[in-house]
């Protein structure tokens, strides 16, 4: 009986996703392509049309997963030399996707493109920048990125920058500097979604204070259920509703399962980052030999996070941001073909079709349109913000 019920829920999920868009807020495929020696930064050479069993994202599985809109991250590691150049290389890779596969991807720039792509049987392909290190402490790249198609920016990654504190590094600014505030306000003016994933709780609160548009947490879960510093604490979740913002539940095992997090804790520093950068695989193997395999995160645990966050924020403020990147994944969500499994799990837990529509895309589309409206209004009355970090912070 349980198998039949699960099968019916999955069938129901697939039926729903035929008519409603499924938006995923974060995928690091561009970094996977950029890092591939075979691809040489070419989407065509990477051959996204074939299955890539070594990773988790390719065209066949995106179609099987019924993804309607994908936000691709131009992710640049904080300590990478020439981060501005690398950001542009990642932006170029994202732009290559619809150019190389025009029958499958549609280059997307606005919220309404999600429905347009769905009607055309294509995947709306959006561009994000993950980590402001590529600004190289200048506001000017923001406008260049926006002109290139960037519609979402994650302020930092795993390290604190000269103007913003990371959740997984030592704080240096008590949150956000004056330059960091200028970044947020200029993103508002440009109609670019401000993403608070990876930022410290103090940054989260400061941006919730000053942003003129709703903001996004593109791949976070609930700290109260799993104490990874990348997860959102309750006092932040409790502000999401009043700011009309959204938190996107993510699939990273250490952000879902406390058991997985506890198992990996000896392999990480005090901020949750890997502490064995040069021999990480060997360190993991030795740890597993001594302590057994890492506990698997599950869809059930992820549903606990989603429902807990709904309880803090309300149903209108939750969405999905997988953070597929070719790494560890939960049981049942091994790759991008498995999105319907999560929808089915929510259906089995009693979620209505209307609730599914909200988490699948409705909530995000509403936020995106609000950011667009704010940007159009502000651009009429505010000049561009210019300058470098020293012009704002005196250093």
Domain boundaries, the chain: 2-257+296-393
Q: Over the stretch 227-244, which tens digit does the pLDDT of each residue have?
A: 999 999 999 999 999 999
CB-based contact 361:318 (threshold 8 Å): no
Pick the CATH number of 2-257+296-393 from 2.40.50.100, 3.40.50.10260, 3.20.20.140, 3.40.190.10: 3.20.20.140
With a cut of 70, say whether residue 3 has pLDDT above it: no
CB atoms closer than 10 angstroms to residue 12: 17
pLDDT of residue 275: 59
Nearest to 30 by CA among 113, 89, 102, 101: 89
Lookup: tokens for 85? 């150049």
Alpha-carbon distance 164 to 181, whole Å?
9
SS3 158: coil
pLDDT of residue 4: 84
Share of the chain above pLDDT 90, in %: 93
CB-based contact 187:379 (threshold 8 Å): no
Alpha-carbon distance 240 to 234, whole Å?
10
CB atoms closer than 10 angstroms to residue 9: 20
Q: Over the stretch 10-45, which tens digit does the pLDDT of each residue have?
A: 999 999 999 999 999 999 999 999 999 999 999 999
With a cut of 90, say whether residue 5 has pLDDT above it: no
With a cut of 80, say whether residue 117 has pLDDT above it: yes
With a cut of 70, say whether residue 2 has pLDDT above it: no
With a cut of 60, say whether residue 186 has pLDDT above it: yes
For the chain, what percentages of helix, strand and coil (3-state, to nearest 5) are there? Answer: 50, 15, 35
Share of the chain above pLDDT 70, in %: 98
pLDDT of residue 1: 40
CB-based contact 166:158 (threshold 8 Å): yes
Alpha-carbon distance 276 to 143, whole Å?
37
CB-based contact 262:288 (threshold 8 Å): no
With a cut of 60, say whether residue 276 has pLDDT above it: no
Alpha helices in 127-177 (DSSP H): 140-148
* Residue 239 DSSP one-character state: H
Alpha-carbon distance 78 to 166, whole Å?
11
Q: Over the stretch 78-103, which tens digit does the pLDDT of each residue have?
A: 999 999 999 999 999 999 999 999 99
Type and span of the H or E element at 390 = helix 389-393
Lookup: tokens for 310? 């709904």
Please state, in angstroms and as integers, the Cα–Cα distance from residue 252 to each residue in 247, 324, 334, 361, following that order. Answer: 15, 8, 11, 20
Could you give phi then psi for residue 151, rounded to 5 degrees? -125, 5
With a cut of 70, say whether residue 277 has pLDDT above it: no
pLDDT of residue 278: 61
Alpha-carbon distance 132 to 117, whole Å?
29
Q: What is the dihedral of CA 19, 22, 23, 26, to 10 degrees?
A: -160
Q: What is the mean pLDDT of the chain?
A: 96
Q: Per-residue pLDDT averaged across 165-182, rounded?
A: 98
């Amino acid at each position: 009986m349980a198998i039949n019920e699960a099968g019916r829920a999955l069938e129901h999920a697939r039926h729903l996703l035929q008519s409603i868009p499924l938006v995923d807020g974060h995928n690091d495929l561009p970094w996977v392509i950029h890092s591939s020696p075979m691809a040489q930064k070419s989407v065509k050479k990477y051959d996204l049309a074939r299955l890539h069993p070594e990773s988790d994202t390719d065209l066949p599985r995106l179609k099987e997963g019924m993804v309607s809109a994908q936000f691709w991250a131009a992710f640049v590691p904080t300590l990478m030399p020439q981060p501005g150049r690398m950001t542009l290389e990642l932006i170029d890779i994202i732009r290559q996707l619809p150019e190389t596969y025009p029958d499958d991807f549609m280059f997307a720039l606005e919220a309404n493109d999600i429905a347009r792509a769905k009607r055309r049987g294509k995947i709306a392909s959006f561009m994000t920048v993950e980590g402001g290190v590529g600004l190289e402490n200048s506001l000017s790249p923001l406008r260049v990125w926006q002109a290139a198609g960037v519609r979402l920016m994650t302020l930092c990654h795993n390290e604190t920058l000269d103007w913003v504190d990371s959740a997984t590094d030592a704080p240096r600014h008590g949150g956000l500097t004056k330059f960091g505030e200028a970044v947020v306000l200029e993103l508002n003016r440009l109609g670019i979604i401000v993403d608070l994933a990876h930022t410290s709780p103090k940054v989260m609160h400061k941006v919730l204070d000053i942003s003129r548009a709703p903001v996004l947490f593109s791949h976070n879960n609930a700290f109260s259920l799993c104490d990874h510093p990348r997860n959102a604490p309750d006092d932040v979740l409790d502000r999401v509703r009043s700011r009309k913002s959204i938190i996107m539940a993510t699939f990273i095992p250490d952000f879902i399962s406390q058991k997985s997090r506890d198992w990996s804790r000896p392999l990480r520093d005090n901020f949750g980052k890997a502490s064995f950068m040069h021999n990480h695989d060997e360190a993991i193997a030795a740890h597993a030999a001594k302590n057994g395999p890492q506990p698997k995160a599950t869809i059930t645990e992820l549903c606990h996070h989603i429902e807990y966050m709904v309880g803090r924020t309300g149903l209108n403020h939750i969405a999905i941001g997988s953070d597929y990147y070719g790494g560890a994944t939960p049981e049942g969500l091994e790759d991008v073909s498995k999105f319907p499994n999560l929808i089915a799990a929510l259906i089995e837990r009693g979620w209505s079709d209307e609730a599914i529509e909200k988490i699948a895309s409705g909530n995000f589309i509403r936020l995106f349109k609000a950011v667009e409206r704010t940007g159009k209004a502000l651009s009429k009355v505010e000049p561009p913000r210019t300058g470098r970090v020293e012009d704002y912070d005196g250093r």
